[in-house]
Amino acid sequence: MERRLSIKGRRELTRPAVYAGLAVIVALLPLFFESPYILHILILTFIYIIATVSFRTIVISGQFPLAHAAFMGIGAYLAAMAAKWLGMSPWITIPLSALITAGIGMLIGYPFSRLRSLYYAMGSLFFGMGIIQVIYAGGSWTGGYSGLTGIPALLPGVGSKVPYYYFFLGLALVSIIALYRIEFSRIGTNLKAIAQSHVVASSVGINEGGYRILAVGVGCFFVGLAGASYAHYNMVLSCSSFNFMATLWLVMYVLIGGVSSFAGPIVGTIILIIIPEYFRDLKMYSPFVNAVILGIVVYLMPQGLVGLPRLVKSKFTERRKTKKVNHAS
């Protein structure tokens, strides 16, 4: 019954087999790619997928927070510091840090949620910058400008990246499923309703303020989770991974994939991380690859990469129609 009510419900739910198949392929990748560098890239992809999908969860409620990478940083630094200075186990710091990140997000989200669109975006941008400055100012506690090192590993004593690969694959899958459920339930519908008209939404009893904060809380929880896990994998943290440019790239991943579809962020993240890797040898020139991808999508694919199949199909039917007309005359 719920299928008829959710927006893209039918399309997403009739392809479980395809997704299961993809999951199996991804799970088997380490058998084919043994290079630690490739595994590292894939792990980063999983981490960024969690970040971008959770970003989109906030976006569907009509809020555009320009500080998402900063929250990843909060999650990362909280977990790292708790493990390094308080001796807590990574298996505790990761979920704990995610919860605290969510809490901070909701606390900050509360005053900002009264702002509309542009001002919300700006306010969150400044907040993100403020966080970075706080981290810089943290001296030896946070490692300041030079970064934090010596973070305890998630899997101590494990040299190979393969177990980490499966950990992050699992984390990403769990996150995707959790966020999927939010989007395609009445919760997601309410969030989208608030985005379209908060006035109408509140007139039918939807607590728009509460739902907005819920969206931010959920989004921040998962991005904090991603950040904390990253800290215990990389064992080294540098502030510049979480600055405004980092947030902007998260936004790019989502926009390129297509912001109006759940799979958009996933597709965008994969494309914008994996493809430039092929051009890795270009070193200094490699940002151009990203720019080219962005440019192509902006000019030719307004719906993002997710809209590509539909775009191709419509061009196809267009050509067939004109062929028919030409034959007829």
Q: Which residues bind other proteins (CB under 8 A)?
A: 1-2, 4-5, 7, 111-112, 114-119, 122-123, 125-127, 129-130, 133-134, 136-137, 144-145, 181-182, 185-187, 189-190, 192-193, 196-197, 199-209, 244-245, 248, 251-252, 255-256, 259, 284-285, 287-288, 290-291, 294-295, 297-298, 302
Q: Smallest distance from the beta carbon of 211 to other proteins, in angstroms?
A: 10
Q: Which is nearer to other proteins, 103 or 138 (CB)?
A: 138
Which residue number, 152 or 265, has a Cβ lying nearer to other proteins? Answer: 265
Taking the least distance from each CB to other proteins, the nearer of 179 and 231 is 179
- Smallest gap, in angstroms, from Cβ of residue 64 to other proteins? 8
| Inter-residue contact 52 to 250 (CB < 8 Å) | yes
Angle between helices 186-196 and 208-234 (to 10 degrees): 110
The residue with tokens 């939010």 is 182
Nearer to other proteins by Cβ, of 86 and 284: the residue is 284
Provide the minimum distance between the beta carbon of 304 and other proteins in the complex, in angstroms, as a whole number.
9
* Pick from 227, 248, 244, 259: nearest CA to 61: 259
The answer to whether 296 and 289 are in contact (CB under 8 A) is: no
- d(CA 81, CA 88) in angstroms, rounded, equals 9
Q: CA 111 from chain center: how many Å?
A: 24
Cβ proximity to other proteins: between 42 and 78 the closer is 78
Q: How far is the CB of 284 from other proteins (least distance, A)?
A: 5
C-beta of 14 vs 133, nearer to other proteins: 133
Q: Give least dist CB 9 to other proteins, A.
A: 11
Nearest approach, Cβ of residue 218 and other proteins (Å): 10
Beta-carbon count within 10 A of 161 CB: 20
Contact criterion met (CB below 8 Å) for 98 and 224: yes
CB 26 within 8 A of CB 147: no
**Which is nearer to other proteins, 167 or 260 (by Cβ)?**
260
Smallest separation, CB 129 to other proteins (Å): 5
Q: 115-150 burial string, b = 16+ CB within 10 Å, else e?
A: eeeeebbebbbebbbebbeebeeeeeebbeeeebee
Q: Does the CA dihedral 167-170-172-175 come out positive or negative?
A: negative
- DSSP E strands: which ranges in 233-296? none
Take residue 68 and report the two structure tokens written for it.
Answer: 């998402």
